Structure 1
């Protein structure tokens, strides 16, 4: 029996093929496709609390002996959390941040050179969870599975080694 692969999940939930990626740096008027309204009674946590009365996103200390359970609760109730005391070197975190800034600051036409296909895993585009919402999210995503070399060469034809080398170094360190 073969194990399911990530692309199988994407086939079951394809991205909206008619969706145009919004260039957030050039928007002057918010299109309806991205206009979210907050309906307080529509959103509540699984514990029944009103979202507007819940505190901030959970911060989980990995040194806490209950970290595993806290992560489970944060996933169930929030879907997001922040980790502290993860022991990832600050310089590596800084390099990841710089690589992300370099990538997402590229002009839209350059990012679209490595656009993810509707059933694909790697590349630039809407974040994969977008298909589960009525409105488009105010974000963009770049997913890397395996080596980023093919994408890096297209994005930075004369300077791709910085992104590719960094990703390789980061992958080997973590």
Structure 2
């Protein structure tokens, strides 16, 4: 029987320290909890001997699946071209995401992911696997994020940019 990702998250709740991001606006010195120290074990992995770029994959290439597989194995990421998503839509999504992350921390915390949740504001779910906390904040969206919009703007949330951001994401997801 297959287990859903949501069920896995419910079965393995996180401690709040692994959910609440560092407030970058109020930190004046590096907290020990976030001080990642480079060790000799990994020093050679970070030395780039020649300039490199991440793989760029044309979605119209006949061997696109093979190209993506290789990029994932060697890089863990890639950029796609010929995806038919208008650059204006991508620009709109980026602009609205910037507005979301520019909100004050106390406002973003209204949409904080629950300890057993999969969606909302917080650090990456993989953070407990590391000895130090991550320099990261994110907003995970699966399906509709309308409830998060209501948490951030309880009155007339559809008048705010976040609701328009949700509509953009739905439009983006339908492409």
- Give the TM-score range, shorter chain: 0.7 to 0.9
Match of 1:127 in 2: 124
Match of 2:92 in 1: 95
Distance 1:9 1:76, change over 3 A: farther
Deviations 1:83-114 (A, max 9, x none): 22222111110111111011111100011111
RMSD, matched Cα: 2.4
The higher relative CO (CA closer than 8 Å, separation ≥ 6) is in 2
Q: Give me the TM-score of the superposition, normalised by structure 1.
A: 0.81
CA contact under 8 A between 1:14 and 1:131: conserved in structure 2? no
Asked if residue 147 in structure 1 is aligned to residue 144 in structure 2, the reply is: yes
* SS of aligned partner of 1:53: coil
Within the candidate set 63, 83, 86, 2:80 is matched to 83
- The number of residue pairs the alignment matches comes to 168
Match of 1:5 in 2: 4
Q: Give me the TM-score of the superposition, normalised by structure 2.
A: 0.81
Question: Aligned partners of 1:42 and 1:7: how far apart in 2?
Answer: 33
Question: Aligned partners of 1:13 and 1:60: how far apart in 2?
Answer: 36
Gaps of 5+ in 1: 45-49
Question: Aligned partners of 1:17 and 1:32: how far apart in 2?
Answer: 17
Deviations 1:8-47 (A, max 9, x none): 2324654333445210122210111111223364277xxx
Could you list the runs of 4 or more consecutive aligned residues of structure 1 that deviate by over 6 angstroms after TM superposition? none
Map 1:2-151 onto structure 2 (within 5 A): 3-11=2-10, 13-19=12-18, 20-39=20-39, 41-42=41-42, 50-53=45-48, 55-151=52-148
Distance 1:131 1:11, change over 3 A: farther
Question: Aligned partners of 2:170 and 2:101: how far apart in 1?
Answer: 20
Asked if residue 170 in structure 1 is aligned to residue 165 in structure 2, the reply is: no
Match of 2:157 in 1: 160
CA contact under 8 A between 2:10 and 2:116: conserved in structure 1? yes
Question: Aligned partners of 2:164 and 2:70: how far apart in 1?
Answer: 37
Larger deviation: 115-124 or 58-67?
Answer: 58-67
